């Protein structure tokens, strides 16, 4: 499977500008990318301005994502603000060709920034199969909670769409590697660059990590960049058979 990650300098609360930046990055991607992954709140930045920026589930950003998929044979995914049944959600949306759609609402809201005052948490972990790869998506702060992200032998690729500040960039890289190692999976972590409307700086460092914790692709620091790489399910399964760590994992349940 060929994965593309797009790291942009997200314009604060400016959807049209951000759509344009992403479209420019898409124009240089290989035509045969299977999945295009965008950062958290890729259309607005990590804003709490829900009243102005949140959309219904079939709103402007959803239609834009569908238009991208309609002109390619690729899926596209990332998170943005959704208003649904009187609540706001930081929702990861994955749209694939042939009208395949999967949704995940961010479980761990970032209380340090007051996210829980504006958004409702999700309560369902998501795993789905796309083109033979089992995928489990998460959003930013979820990365710090390994029990929620735990591979129960049911996924091959973890996606994390983030707005992860530069001040904690070492934590970002460390946790991405840890999640890959402990879950024996590929991990794609996609972050933004630039400074947001609250003066918080982001340096990017988006990366794709192999199941041994090795970085196999990176968009680097402080650059708007798109990176594409192949991941191999055959190689992953060979490693899991050779070193079957997940067979010895503890059973557990989560209380929500």
Q: Which residues are catalytic?
A: 40, 106, 140
Closest CA to 106 of 60, 136, 156, 141: 141
Contact 206, 140 (CB under 8 A): no
C-beta atoms surrounding 28 within 10 Å: 10
Give the span between the Cα atoms of 62 and 88, in whole angstroms.
15
């Amino acid at each position: 499977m060929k994965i593309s990650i797009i790291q942009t300098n997200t314009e604060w609360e400016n959807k049209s500008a951000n759509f344009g930046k992403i479209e420019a990055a898409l124009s240089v991607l290989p035509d045969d990318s299977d999945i295009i992954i965008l950062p958290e709140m890729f259309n607005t930045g990590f804003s709490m301005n829900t009243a102005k920026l949140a959309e219904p589930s079939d709103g402007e950003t959803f239609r834009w994502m569908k238009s991208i998929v309609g002109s390619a044979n690729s899926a596209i995914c990332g998170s943005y603000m959704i208003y649904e049944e009187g609540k706001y959600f930081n929702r990861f949306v994955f749209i694939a060709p042939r009208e395949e759609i999967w949704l995940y609402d961010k479980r761990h809201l970032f209380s340090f920034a007051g996210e829980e005052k504006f958004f409702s948490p999700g309560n369902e972990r998501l795993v789905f199969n796309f083109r033979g790869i089992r995928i489990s998506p998460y959003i930013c702060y979820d990365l710090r909670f390994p029990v929620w992200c735990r591979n129960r032998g049911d996924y091959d690729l973890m996606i994390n769409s983030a707005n992860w500040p530069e001040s904690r960039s070492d934590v970002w890289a460390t946790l991405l590697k840890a999640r890959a190692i402990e879950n024996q999976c590929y991990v794609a972590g996609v972050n933004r660059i630039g400074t947001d409307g609250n003066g918080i700086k982001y340096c990017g460092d988006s990366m794709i990590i192999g199941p041994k914790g090795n970085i196999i692709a990176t968009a680097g620091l402080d650059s708007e960049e798109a990176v594409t790489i192949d991941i191999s399910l055959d190689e992953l399964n060979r490693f899991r058979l050779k070193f079957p760590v997940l067979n010895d994992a503890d059973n557990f349940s989560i209380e929500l």
